[in-house]
Every structure is written in structure tokens, then in C-alpha cells.
Structure 1
């Protein structure tokens, strides 16, 4: 009896909002096409990245 009641309730709720006025979905490709390209890393950023990689490697070697 409980299953029948739950099934009827779910069926009634499934019909709710089916006639709503929802906006049309926008394809993701059109949203991402206007995104600017990431700038190339500068020499300063590359130097910082190299220093971080060297520090990480030193920490890995120090651990047993």
C-alpha cells in the first residue's frame, strides 16, 4: 500500500512544472568560444616554477 502511495505521489510530482516557461539552454561551445587565450608564461614565472620543482624534488629526496 505504501509503495502504491509513493508511486502515485511521484507520478503527480513528475507532472508538476512540465508546462513551465524555462529559458532555452545555451550550448557550452558558444560560451567557451569567447574566452580569451591564457597568456604565455613570463620568464619570471618560469623561474619561480623551476625553483618550486627543485624544492619539491629536494623534499622528496629528504624523505625516507
Structure 2
């Protein structure tokens, strides 16, 4: 029971310590050009959503492209997984360690 109270007290003290943190001055990061700039124009979202819905991806085509990419990456991994050193290079390296 005492350990649970100590742990709770430690947790509370850590939380309160974090509340005393000094935050950096963010107001000084704005340049005069940014403070005097106009706000961006608001645009309706409906045309953006409509364009996103009309440009649908064909699942069969996307699946075929992904499968081709996976096959190519597996082939590349197989080529890279072999030994980097040739037989004579491996022998010369082994002799150097003796």
C-alpha cells in the first residue's frame, strides 16, 4: 500500500514539474512579411471532393502493379543476397587473418 502511494506521489510530482516548463517565444519567429500578409482565399470543398471521387483507382490494375513490384523486389533481393566476394578474394581475406 505504501509503495502504491509513493508511486502515485511520484507521478503527481512529475506531472506538476512538466507544467512549469518554459515555452519558446514563438511570436518572434514571424517575419514582418508574414504578419502583414493577407489570409488565403477560402474555396468550397465540394469540387475538391468530387474530383477525388472521380479519379478512382482500378483495383485490378493496382493489384497487378503491386504484384509486379513485389516480384521485381524479390528478384533484386535474391541477386543481392549472394556473396559479395569471389573465391580468390575470400581466400586472400582468410589468409590475411591468420
Normalised by the length of structure 2, the TM-score is 0.30
Which entry has the higher C-alpha Rg, 1 or 2?
Answer: 2
Q: Which has the higher helix share?
A: 2
Normalised by the length of structure 1, the TM-score is 0.43
